[in-house]
Amino acid sequence: MVYCKLMEQAHIIGISGGSGSGKTTIVHKISELVSDFVFIPQDNYYKSAEHMSNENITAFNFDHPDAFDNELLAQHLLALKNMQSVEMPTYDFVHHRRAEKTIYVKPAKLIIFEGIMVFYDKTIRDLIDLKIFVDTPDDIRFIRRLTRDIKERGRTMESVIDQYLNVVRPGHYLFIEPTKQYADIIIPEGGANENALNLLVTFIKQVLSSGEHYH
């Protein structure tokens, strides 16, 4: 463990794990205790798939690294790391396309970057100071995804199940699970793991107060 003074740069914490693993819950828990941070969801950087309808959306593989605009994402993370503002895209999951609306993101001392493949691309991975992988059993992740996609994204149960079996599950073991090797911290059970969350928040507060970077 090496600490070095880099006051001019922000700290980036990457939170990865399979769909429905509890990544967003961890972000919410952190936000309850740490106020000064910027949240960058990898989901906002999906490429458009507007030619797909909800009936045939399974033909577009959202669980593949090529589904993300990694070039733009790397540019934005680098800018934020260097304390520069960015215009973050937003994504319309009902119509499967990048929305016209963007979000103006001001720099902050802490950036929390969350998504299923935040450790996959080396250029992006090398910008992250602390890498956290959320490890949750498959059945729990599937139930959470099923509930979310039906309630929030206008999907049918049949399409969610079909997508999970043919795309999500294979993609998880091909592209997401292997990135666990890059994690500095692995949190079992996600947001339900209070002990791990308390240690994480303590660490974040310590780093922010000292102005030091962890490598």
Question: What per-residue confidence (pLDDT) applies to 7?
Answer: 53
Q: Taking 80 as the threshold, does the pLDDT of residue 2 lie above it?
A: no
Q: What is the pLDDT of residues 91-104, one digit of tens each?
A: 998 777 899 999 99
Q: How many residues are recorded in the chain?
A: 215
Q: What is the pLDDT of residues 166-215, one digit of tens each?
A: 888 888 999 999 999 999 999 987 767 888 888 888 888 887 777 655 55
Asked if residue 205 is part of any domain, the answer here is: yes
Cα separation, 211 vs 155, whole angstroms: 45
Q: What is the pLDDT of residues 35-91, one digit of tens each?
A: 789 999 999 999 987 555 545 555 567 889 999 999 999 999 999 999 999 999 999
Q: Name the band, by pLDDT with cuts 50, 70 and 90, for residue 6.
A: very low
Q: Taking 70 as the threshold, does the pLDDT of residue 1 lie above it?
A: no
Domain total of the chain: 1
Q: Taking 70 as the threshold, does the pLDDT of residue 130 lie above it?
A: yes
Asked if residue 121 is part of any domain, the answer here is: yes
* Mean pLDDT value across the chain: 86
Asked if residue 87 is part of any domain, the answer here is: yes
Asked if residue 178 is part of any domain, the answer here is: yes
Question: What per-residue confidence (pLDDT) applies to 51?
Answer: 54
Cα separation, 13 vs 110, whole angstroms: 8
Q: Taking 50 as the threshold, does the pLDDT of residue 3 lie above it?
A: no
pTM score: 0.83
Asked if residue 215 is part of any domain, the answer here is: no
Q: What is the pLDDT of residues 9-42, one digit of tens each?
A: 999 999 999 888 889 889 988 888 887 899 999 9
Q: What is the CATH number of the domain that holds 70?
A: 3.40.50.300
Residue-range definition of the domain harbouring residue 77: 3-210
